[in-house]
Structure 1
Amino acid sequence: MTGQKTSVHRIWRALGPGLITGAADDDPSGIATYSQAGAQFGFSLLWTLFLTLPFMAAIQIISACIGWDTRKGLSSNIARVLPPAAVYPLVASLLVANTINIAADLAAMGEALRLVVGGSALAFAVLFGIVCLTAEVFIPYHRYAGYLKFLTMVLLFYVAAAFSVHIPWGEVLYATVAPKISFDRDMLLMVVAIFGTTISPYLFFWQASQEAEESRLSHRHQHARTKSSKTGAFQKISVDTWIGMVFSNTIACFIVVTTAATLHAHGITHIDTAAQAAEALRPIGGPLAFALFAAGIIGTGLLAVPVLAGSAAYAVTEVFHMRGSLELPANRAIGFYAIVAAATIGGSALLATNIDPIAMLFWTAVINGIVAVPIMIAMMLVVTNKREAARVSLPRWIKVLGWLGSGLMAVAVLLMIWSTVT
């Protein structure tokens, strides 16, 4: 028994940025998108989650290897192959998308807590923002990463929620392997939203920066010149990332399945927020499904908001050559933490405006899908550039998957724009 505990402990310690990144992908805005997909289209869009998995894993492995091998984040590496006129708009679009995403996530968390205990959703949302900001500023990275990794377990609530209601698993399997594809605008918009919330730009920057932190802290980079050492690092990153991405998409699948089997099956085809999905589940799936769904929203928000703010801060400080790291105290990285605070406070401030938080949740996913395309192409240029390829060691198959993923995202966005115009 002791040996088994030791093995589990070793596996848990080996998991790192890949697991956290995958879990952060299922943030409240993602939960809202998956819930709407299940409510509006039933099981018919489950195929998108299996289609995106290999491309999602590949692009995250690429970003992770860029961070590990160069000990620098994504934006500083992109700046080596692209001119400032191209880099600045990419970073600016990430900052805007992340701020809107933070606002949407905080709104969903506040609304979820209001459903459980009553009170003001806005006050709860602002309080959650303060908690996330305080944790990022005052807890060093090596401790904070452990807390984030523990929070990933909250996503298992969605597995429990699925098994608390009746699921026609035969229909689920059929919809997964026999997809229905339509060029209807609403379906294309939903596909782009699913792609955008599954392959999100902030995850690229976050994992690259976290692998760079791990590389600097572990001292393994000092011995990474040999081919065997580089292969070992790639294998470790690949296993960690694949586990994180499979975990992420599995949870997303359970969210779609749960809402399709309950809401869609009972004629509820329009869900705008994750909290609304939880509330709608109460009379159909019972109080247990409602409680699990609401708890998951709050837990994933606490995980995702720091990732969103942190990834924006890493991206901006690297472009402008400012000192920045979650491992540094606030007085040694003032600019970095100022951006973390600005993104978090900016997201909180959006909640007090007339911007509809309901629309913000879904459109955040669509914006992420659009922004992801140029950033993914820029990443692929980094790892295929002759000068940079020597710094980042990657097998050819992972690069092929990266380009295919970039093309898939681009085609989805172009089809959405085409269907909207025509």
Structure 2
Amino acid sequence: MPIAPTPVAIQEPQRARLQDVMGPGLITGASDDDPSGIATYSQAGAQFGYTMGWTLLFTYPLMCAIQLISAEMGRVTGRGLAGNIRRHYPAWLLYPLVGLLVVANTINLGADLGAMAAALHLLIDGPTVVYIAGFALLTVVAEVFITYARYASALRWLTLSLFAYVGSVFVVGVPWLNAARNLVLPNMSLTGGYLTVVVAVLGTTISPYLFFWQAAEEVEDERQDPAAKPLLKAPQQAPAQMARMQIDTLVGMGFSNIIALFIMLTTAATLNAHGVIDIQTSSQAAEALRPIAGRFAFTIFALGIVGTGLLAVPVLAGSAAYAVGEALRWRVGLAQRPGRAPAFYGAIALATLIGASLNFTPLDPIKALFWSAVINGVAAVPIMVMIMLMASRKEVMGQFALRPLLKAFGWLATAVMTVAAIGMFATWGA
């Protein structure tokens, strides 16, 4: 009697999980709305009302382009940005670029820690010194001792803190028709004050630390997957990975700019409408909201500062450590155990410590939140030029060198940042 064949189970193709698609791009985009960014968008809304909304619509395709280029470079080569610069360019070019990043990140990091402490002080009366130290310690301990998979998951969850600003914009009563008109029909001014705020918005939206972080996290994710390899070595993986990075980046940057627009609209509808036009810090913006928009708007605005800071500070410290480590040939990566990458984790701790200590110097980074965005805007220009040159070279990217459309948008983003920085200096004091 013939034996019936054993039925073979047919495996259905696995559906991509959300966490497999939404990764470095989502975290990078969310970290862009850090306390420094909140201060900048608040200042723009308070000082110029709804007339600055166009900057966020305008920057969206530009930031998508440069972030996607950075992500692709990491995934294609299996190296971060600094690692690729070191491999293909001389040291005299590498070290100044890394130095620019480290200086900008450290000032930004210190400003964010100070803003988080000031916001918590508004909610829970207590010593800001203790809050600064506590946030700094929490950041370092989490980055050093929590496994990479859990840490990345925690950062994804922290992106939800940005929804505080979705709530605030619907509480304060925005004249949507007026806001929409200014979004698509810019009412621009060539004064020094206006251009300085434009550069600050560009600098906090298109920031150097975001380029380095997203590239480095693509490398981390590739190394965590046993089946994955750099696309130069496994080009057959390119279609799926390129599509994933594109979705991840478009969604992450869109999320970033929508939240930034909501912050701008909130302060325009409240502070600007009531003649409060001089906002230097994010916590000052939150405090100014209390008598105008009520305690609820004030509370969610302040809580958002703390939540976004918890997301952004690790990204700032981590991107600086990746850049320095790759430049100096250290073993790098948040997936590494502390004992196997002591210099890398030491750089994270040192950057966080220096940033925290800036709060106790005459520099007063709490008031320098806005200016850290300006510094980022200026520092971004030479770094973006280098990214575009590398991504266009077949010696670096092989068959994955930049496609014409992405190349055009990348150079356009670089040109816009250059013109904005030159315009700011040219009209300084005008």
User: Same fold per TM (> 0.5)?
Assistant: yes
Counterpart among 273, 286, 294 of residue 265 in structure 1: 273
| Preserved CA contact (<8 Å) 2:32 2:205 | yes
Alpha-carbon deviation of 1:399? 1.3
Work out the number of aligned pairs and report it.
Answer: 416
Q: Tell me, what secondary structure is at the counterpart of 2:160?
A: helix
* Mapped partners of 2:229, 2:288: distance in 1: 54
2:67 aligned with 1:60:
yes
Offset from partner CA, 1:311-331 (integer Å, 9 cap, x none): 000000001101111111111
Q: Tell me, what secondary structure is at the counterpart of 2:390?
A: helix
For 1:124, the equivalent position in structure 2 comes to 131
Offset from partner CA, 1:161-209 (integer Å, 9 cap, x none): 1111111000100110110121100000000000000000000000000
For 1:81, the equivalent position in structure 2 comes to 88
* Mapped partners of 1:88, 1:392: distance in 2: 26
Structure 1, unpaired ranges of 5+: 1-6
2:299 aligned with 1:291:
yes
Q: Name the CA shift for 1:9/1:280 in 2 (closer, same or farther; >3 Å).
A: farther
* Matching residue's letter, 1:127: G
Q: Name the larger-Rg structure.
A: 2
Q: Name the CA shift for 1:358/1:8 in 2 (closer, same or farther; >3 Å).
A: farther
Counterpart among 319, 328, 337 of residue 311 in structure 1: 319
For 1:388, the equivalent position in structure 2 comes to 396
Structure in which a larger fraction of residues adopt helix: 1
Offset from partner CA, 1:200-245 (integer Å, 9 cap, x none): 0000000000000111111343484565531221110010011000
Alpha-carbon deviation of 1:421? 7.3
* Mapped partners of 2:144, 2:315: distance in 1: 13
2:56 aligned with 1:49:
yes
Q: Name the CA shift for 1:343/1:199 in 2 (closer, same or farther; >3 Å).
A: same
Q: List structure 1 segments (4+ residues) > 3 angstroms apart after TM superposition.
A: 219-228, 391-394
Q: Name the CA shift for 1:384/1:279 in 2 (closer, same or farther; >3 Å).
A: same
For 2:284, the equivalent position in structure 1 comes to 276
2:239 aligned with 1:247:
no
Per the normalisation by structure 1, the TM-score is: 0.96
* Matching residue's letter, 1:112: A
Q: Name the CA shift for 1:298/1:274 in 2 (closer, same or farther; >3 Å).
A: same
* Mapped partners of 1:78, 1:401: distance in 2: 21
Counterpart among 160, 170, 184 of residue 167 in structure 2: 160
Q: Tell me, what secondary structure is at the counterpart of 1:164?
A: helix
Q: Tell me, what secondary structure is at the counterpart of 1:43?
A: helix
| Preserved CA contact (<8 Å) 1:373 1:406 | yes
| Preserved CA contact (<8 Å) 2:27 2:156 | yes
Per the normalisation by structure 2, the TM-score is: 0.94
* Matching residue's letter, 1:160: G
Counterpart among 16, 41, 60 of residue 23 in structure 2: 16
Offset from partner CA, 1:264-293 (integer Å, 9 cap, x none): 000000111111111111111111100100
For 1:334, the equivalent position in structure 2 comes to 342
- Higher mean alpha-carbon deviation, 71-80 vs 241-250, is at 71-80
Alpha-carbon deviation of 1:88? 0.3
Q: Tell me, what secondary structure is at the counterpart of 1:42?
A: helix
Counterpart among 192, 205, 215 of residue 198 in structure 1: 205
* Mapped partners of 1:169, 1:26: distance in 2: 22
Alpha-carbon deviation of 1:391? 6.2
Question: Percent identity over the alignment?
Answer: 50
* Mapped partners of 1:82, 1:12: distance in 2: 35
Alpha-carbon deviation of 1:385? 1.9
Q: Name the CA shift for 1:8/1:263 in 2 (closer, same or farther; >3 Å).
A: farther
Structure 2, unpaired ranges of 5+: 1-13
* Mapped partners of 1:338, 1:210: distance in 2: 19
For 1:182, the equivalent position in structure 2 comes to 189
Q: Name the CA shift for 1:8/1:268 in 2 (closer, same or farther; >3 Å).
A: farther
Counterpart among 107, 132, 147 of residue 140 in structure 1: 147
* Mapped partners of 2:174, 2:238: distance in 1: 45
Instruction: Summarize the alignment of residues 93-112 of structure 1 with structure 2, pairs less than 5 Å apart.
Output: 93-112=100-119
* Matching residue's letter, 1:270: D
For 1:379, the equivalent position in structure 2 comes to 387
For 2:8, the equivalent position in structure 1 comes to none
Q: Name the CA shift for 1:209/1:227 in 2 (closer, same or farther; >3 Å).
A: closer
Query: What do you get for the CA RMSD once the two structures are aligned?
Result: 1.6
- Higher mean alpha-carbon deviation, 216-225 vs 181-190, is at 216-225
Offset from partner CA, 1:335-365 (integer Å, 9 cap, x none): 0011001100000111111212343101100
| Preserved CA contact (<8 Å) 1:69 1:221 | no
| Preserved CA contact (<8 Å) 1:275 1:294 | yes
Alpha-carbon deviation of 1:9? 9.1
* Mapped partners of 1:223, 1:371: distance in 2: 29
* Matching residue's letter, 1:382: M
Q: Name the CA shift for 1:8/1:161 in 2 (closer, same or farther; >3 Å).
A: farther
Offset from partner CA, 1:366-390 (integer Å, 9 cap, x none): 0000000000000001111232230
For 1:357, the equivalent position in structure 2 comes to 365
| Preserved CA contact (<8 Å) 2:77 2:396 | no
